[in-house]
Homo-oligomer: A and B are copies of this chain.
Amino acid sequence: MRILLVEDNRDILANLADYLEIKGYTVDCAQDGLTGLHLAASQSYDLAVLDVMMPGMDGFTLCQRLREGRNNLPVIMLTARDTLDDRLQGFSSGADDYLVKPFELSELAARVEAVLRRSHGGANRLLAVADLTLDLDSLEVFRQGKAIKLNPIGLKLLETLMQRSPSVVKREQLEEAIWGDDCPDSDSLRSHIHQLRQLIDKPFDIHLLQTVHGIGFRLAPPQAS
């Protein structure tokens, strides 16, 4: 696991770096925000630990830059207790966790471990088909970066289709996935498929939700196997 550590105080920096290395992490250090940003851009890290108070680019700004440019690199912020209140409004910069100075090193280790667990092996189950994604934990649906709001049934339908993509899913299988054993009399599956199409396909050029006449439906880019 690689950690990027940005902290302007040389002693604290050395202390934290030593400790994290003892814990088995590979640590790269920077003493100012700009250096940290460059490192983050040129290297690949699993986690960034940023001090808030730094000359030049402060931790908040650095965190925001990281969030803009790269994929979601987890961030832990270090902040002094007496500046906590004033700076809370800057906390929308998107850090994953915060640590108030002074803190124990073991506390830092616990946070690092927790954040890494959450971001890596964590319960972040994400389904993706082409440019369509479904996060099974937050139940957020995105296509081409746009958020899409779905009903519970729409979500269940999409989940089933995505999990089996690009296979065809039979109507009966879809109905069972939604209603279990007691399906409604008339086939209201049609309506739900229609509604799902309206939301995930209609606003876009490429249509992913395809009908296989007499059998069922499949979710896949056209002419894929």
Contacts and interface: CB of A to CB of B under 8 A. Distances in A.
B100 A168 contact: no
Query: A-side binding surface: helix, strand, loop or mixed?
Result: mixed
Interface string A125-137: 0101011010101
A106 interface: yes
Nearest to A167: B137
Query: How many A residues touch the partner, as a band?
Result: 35 or more
A190 B225 CA distance: 30
Contact of A131 (B88, B107, B118): B88
A218 B218 CA distance: 30
A142 interface: yes
A215 B136 CA distance: 13
A94 B215 CA distance: 26
A84 to B, nearest CB: 7
23 contacts: A18-B87, A19-B87, A84-B142, A88-B144, A89-B144, A92-B130, A92-B221, A94-B130, A96-B104, A97-B105, A97-B128, A98-B126, A99-B126, A100-B124, A100-B126, A101-B110, A104-B114, A138-B167, A138-B218, A139-B168, A140-B166, A147-B223, A151-B213
B225 A140 contact: yes
Contacts of A167: 123, 137-138
A177 interface: no
Contact of A166 (B103, B115, B138, B142): B138
A85 interface: yes
Contacts of A147: 223
A40 interface: no
